[in-house]
Structure 1
Amino acid sequence: MTTGTDLVEVRAGVYHDSVSLMRVSQALTARPGVDVAVVAMATELNVGLAREAGFAVPAAGPADLLVAIRAGSAADLDEAAEELERQFAALTGGGGGGFETAGAAPRTTGTAARGFDATLALVSVPGEHAFAEAMDAVEAGLSVMIFSDNVPVAQEVLLKERARERGVLVMGPDCGTAIVGGAGLGFANVVRPGRIGVVAASGTGAQQVACLLDLAGAGVSHVLGVGGRDLSAAVRGRSTLAALAALDADPSTDLIVLISKPPAPEIAQKVRRFVAGLRTPVVFALLGPGADDLTTATEKALRALGVPVPRWPSWTAAQATAPDEPQAGPDGEAGPDGRAGPGRGLWGIYSGGTLCEEARIVAGAGVFTDYGDDAYTRGRAHPMIDPSLRLEALASAEGVVLMDVVLGHAADPDPAAWLVPAVRAARERGVDVVVALVGTDSDPQGLRRQADALVEAGASVFVSNAAAARHAAALAGSAG
């Protein structure tokens, strides 16, 4: 339905994944003359957001596709509609995850599993629907990765208990990253295969460790995410213990790294007792005061396997040095303009919860916000895809800003494109920007290409989040 300069359509029985639809919305919004573009599955939440924006949305269901575009003129709207069709054509032709639900398409996860030789299901639906889909997978004898967030903890416990009974693994909810047999799931970096297995109650923490291992010339056998709440007192490490046991039995894994935000103390002790009975050595990266940071834990893993520990690359804002000539080690001296000093303030603007917590612990002072938290992702894409909230925070920050940029599949295809103008504007206001850049040279975005662009804009860039936090703390004049 087209009314004035509004276009509203509901396309029945047409599905595209949320990441693809977010990118279509971003492409339309970026066009001159387009004021608002909402392209999403017609869930109750998305329909409500479109109506709040003033669109007259007809009746629709979550299996329908909603298109709502507002432009400045009828000509702009026509051009936006043409671009919309080009975007959809590219998704369909390029294997972008779209299909029509009519015909012989399976209606349940269990039905789909019976039609394929499947052992693992990935669930990425709104949180209120994830339990039913994940339980269907478990009952079908599949391990399951639950990318969805906003899943009640009681449902998580039920899923993991049933998975234990069925002898399968539940990764998640809110499991952002996994690599199973070389296949990346969710937000996954391109890393080389190796002998180190990773169990992580953290997506970005797993990405940090895997990318550092890759930079050191090592690699991973598998990365098994378990969800950020798994080591809480409520969930009691159910998936962590199952994942540790699986890697202990894996002949391609010689060492395991266990990663988590600060766990419940009694659950950490439970896990340590379990690890004592394993044949495979385990390096702990359980963040907390006095505990190893992720970089230190990675270095311990490398030494345990006899792999030399490199000097982790970093590039300061003083000059865009060659990538193979890293500058400014983890002690993090003040910037070349001499603006370090007390009272400047340190602001952590993060997309990864574990990276945010690690930076908070390492820096010792400052205000830190994890924009990947459930409170910020309800009704919008993860900040590794949609940077709008972080850009708003950077535009209003003062003093020193510390932020992560995470590369890899499913993440923003070129984060420097939106961050470079924001960094330049911040520098003009006298704000120092320090970036923890998590990625590899093999990632689609290119680690060194992103680093060069950010440094040229005036940011200091570190591949180690802990080193970035120390540098930022020094610039702000805090204890670090």
Structure 2
Amino acid sequence: MVKLEVRKNAYYDSVTLMIISKDVKKLPGVKEALVGMGTDLNREIAGNIGLAGEGFDSVTANDFFVAAECEDEAAFEAVVAKVDELLSKKTENKAAAYTPPTLEGALKIDPDINMAVISVPGKYAYEVAQNCLEHDINVMLFSDNVTIEEERALKEYAAARELLVMGPDCGTAIVNNTPLAFANVVKSGDIGMVCASGTGAQEVSCIIDQLGGGISQLLGTGGRDLKKDIGGIMMKLGLDALIQDPKTRVLTLVSKPPAAEIAQQILDQAAAGGKPTVVCFIGGDPTEIEKRGLCAAISLEDAAHKAVALSRGEQPEDFTGFAMGQEKAETLAAVEAAKMAPGQAYVRGLYTGGTLCDEAMKLMIGKLGHIWSNIPLHPEDLLENARNGSSREHTFLDFGDDEFTVGRPHPMIDPSLRAERVITEAADPGTAVVLVDCVIGYGSHEDPAQDLSEAIRAAKDLAAREGRYLAVVASVCGTEGDPQSLSGSQMKLANAGAVVLPSNAQATRFVQLILEHL
């Protein structure tokens, strides 16, 4: 039976309702559920999953609704009761703090505000960000779907006033030891970072922390900043700020390869700054970097090792091995491969972090030759219908890409869709290895390792019942200081049967070893 409850003119934020939808689906007797506002998108989703039953046509964008397919009336009553319980908790959490409805109201409470984190629908983001800049407030623009013209206009306006616009679609920053959005608890130190990559920035900063180093500032720029259309405006401004910052002794730049002319400008600026600099243009050519006397990194992990070495006054060296040692890694990979059945040949990379997915593909493409993906390295490798279709041969998926986030929170907030795919890939007799990331820290799911470990157990059991062995290789991006704990998360995944490596790069290299032994 499909049941509906509508509450007129009641508003709740979309991320809260998405998470509540996930929780109520787990209740006994519930086959499907959707909790949301009656927006066009939610109406479409309800129709697609069979929940647009009697009375749904009258739901408007100003209405809150609970729709569910249940076994009986009692199951639906339990759904409504659970929704009310979760909404009450959210209200109680908010009650402790006054949240001004306008920027002007916030400034009346604290006239010294100098940083705003903006997360509004993209069509409103420009106006909100511009208002902050006009009040001399730096901006971290989390919103996506901001036009390239609006981004350039905001950044030109900000740069003229020596203000930051980190974004749009900027997910990570650490400013004066304060993590913003998706970020981790890292030690304070003398390594300054400017990054056009969210999970790339997290991976580097977390490994720096694990190696005993520390971060002075971590400034995000948004992924499009180094495109020719923008010109690296914020990368240049951030780099200049860190060059002048007395607390920053070592610079680290992280990005996908920029437009050639923009890369030259950035590298010239870094070289002229006079501070030791590590540059990680993921998958890019190191030649231009090294000829300017800068230090080129071959992976995100390598960038962290080199930054810490420079911070200690040591000579940086390429890090391409395994923390466990090459011999032990070879032996373990051979053991994993020996358990597999004939026909198991492919790796399925399932990522919540887009930069980590991109890095893994770039590290593997030379040996695999061809990787299907929703964020392909080559246009001809685009996997159509990645969300609902099947994987092909070697396939890597970024679950944070738009195709997977329509009507859903980012997978680092709600990793359930990725968890479902882990089990789906286990049902494919061609799957040999599932490669996954687990990103912890502020902004992420309260326990992503638990969610993932349950999926790993189910996937391994499914493969075993069909006479196959499924290898799962994982890495955790985080620190011991994070609320979820690095070691605790690693242990949960290992206990579920995953081989857990210290970094995305090491996990990727280990998968290559398994494939070579098949």
TM interval, shorter chain, is 0.7 to 0.9
Is the Cα contact below 8 Å between 2:438 and 2:475 reproduced in 1?
yes
TM-score scaled to structure 2, two decimals?
A: 0.80
Match of 1:383 in 2: 411
Match of 1:276 in 2: 271
Q: Provide the C-alpha distance between the structure 1 equivalents of 2:354 and 2:133, rounded to a whole number of angstroms.
A: 27
User: Are the structure 2 counterparts of residues 163 and 289 from structure 1 closer, same or farther at C-alpha, using a change threshold of 3 Å?
Assistant: closer
Q: Provide the C-alpha distance between the structure 1 equivalents of 2:237 and 2:83, rounded to a whole number of angstroms.
A: 45
Structure 1 residues 166-216: Cα deviation after superposition (integer angstroms, max 9, x where no partner): 321111111111111111111111112111111110110011011101111
Equivalent runs, 1:128-207 vs 2, <5 Å: 128-207=123-202
Task: State the one-letter code of the partner of 1:449.
Answer: G
Match of 1:39 in 2: 35
Match of 1:462 in 2: 501
Is the Cα contact below 8 Å between 2:158 and 2:165 reproduced in 1?
yes
Equivalent runs, 1:421-436 vs 2, <5 Å: 421-428=454-461, 429=463, 430-436=469-475
Task: State the one-letter code of the partner of 1:243.
Answer: G
The offset of 1:262, in angstroms, is 2.4
Equivalent runs, 1:403-414 vs 2, <5 Å: 403-414=436-447
Equivalent runs, 1:35-434 vs 2, <5 Å: 35-40=31-36, 43-52=39-48, 53-54=51-52, 56=56, 58=58, 60-61=60-61, 64=62, 66-70=64-68, 71-95=70-94, 105-107=100-102, 109=103, 112-113=106-107, 115-116=109-110, 117-289=112-284, 291=286, 292-306=298-312, 327=324, 332-333=329-330, 334-339=333-338, 344-364=345-365, 365=368, 366=371, 367-397=395-425, 398-428=431-461, 429=463, 430-434=469-473
The answer to whether structure 1 residue 443 and structure 2 residue 482 are counterparts is yes
User: Are the structure 2 counterparts of residues 30 and 129 from structure 1 closer, same or farther at C-alpha, using a change threshold of 3 Å?
Assistant: farther
User: Are the structure 2 counterparts of residues 239 and 46 from structure 1 closer, same or farther at C-alpha, using a change threshold of 3 Å?
Assistant: farther
% identity of equivalent residues = 38
Task: State the one-letter code of the partner of 2:411.
Answer: P
Is the Cα contact below 8 Å between 2:117 and 2:142 reproduced in 1?
yes
Is the Cα contact below 8 Å between 2:9 and 2:64 reproduced in 1?
yes
Match of 2:392 in 1: none
User: Are the structure 2 counterparts of residues 131 and 47 from structure 1 closer, same or farther at C-alpha, using a change threshold of 3 Å?
Assistant: farther
Structure 1 residues 44-102: Cα deviation after superposition (integer angstroms, max 9, x where no partner): 433443454415164544xx5733231332222222222222212211222389989xx
Is the Cα contact below 8 Å between 1:40 and 1:67 reproduced in 2?
yes
Task: State the one-letter code of the partner of 1:271.
Answer: I
Structure 1 residues 328-364: Cα deviation after superposition (integer angstroms, max 9, x where no partner): 5599421524438997112211111211111111122
TM-score scaled to structure 1, two decimals?
A: 0.86
Q: Provide the C-alpha distance between the structure 2 equivalents of 1:236 and 1:422, rounded to a whole number of angstroms.
A: 43
Look up the SS of the partner of 2:472 in the other structure. Answer: strand
Query: Which structure has the highest helix share of the two?
Result: 2
Is the Cα contact below 8 Å between 1:405 and 1:436 reproduced in 2?
yes
Look up the SS of the partner of 1:35 in the other structure. Answer: strand
Structure 1 residues 245-297: Cα deviation after superposition (integer angstroms, max 9, x where no partner): 12222222221211012222222112111212224332101111555211111
Task: State the one-letter code of the partner of 1:68.
Answer: V
Q: Judge which range, 274-283 or 468-477, deviates more.
A: 274-283
Look up the SS of the partner of 2:483 in the other structure. Answer: coil
User: Are the structure 2 counterparts of residues 94 and 335 from structure 1 closer, same or farther at C-alpha, using a change threshold of 3 Å?
Assistant: farther
Look up the SS of the partner of 1:441 in the other structure. Answer: coil
Structure 1 residues 231-255: Cα deviation after superposition (integer angstroms, max 9, x where no partner): 1222221111111112222222221
Match of 1:318 in 2: none
The offset of 1:433, in angstroms, is 1.1
Match of 1:29 in 2: 25
Match of 2:379 in 1: none
How many equivalent residue pairs? 457
Q: Provide the C-alpha distance between the structure 2 equivalents of 1:9 and 1:360, rounded to a whole number of angstroms.
A: 47
Is the Cα contact below 8 Å between 1:209 and 1:298 reproduced in 2?
yes
Is the Cα contact below 8 Å between 2:43 and 2:52 reproduced in 1?
no
Match of 1:323 in 2: none
RMSD (CA atoms): 3.1
Q: Provide the C-alpha distance between the structure 2 equivalents of 1:393 and 1:77, rounded to a whole number of angstroms.
A: 28
Structure 1 residues 294-324: Cα deviation after superposition (integer angstroms, max 9, x where no partner): 11111111111117899x9x99xxxxxxxxx
Q: Judge which range, 79-88 or 470-479, deviates more.
A: 470-479
Task: State the one-letter code of the partner of 1:54.
Answer: A
Is the Cα contact below 8 Å between 1:7 and 1:77 reproduced in 2?
no
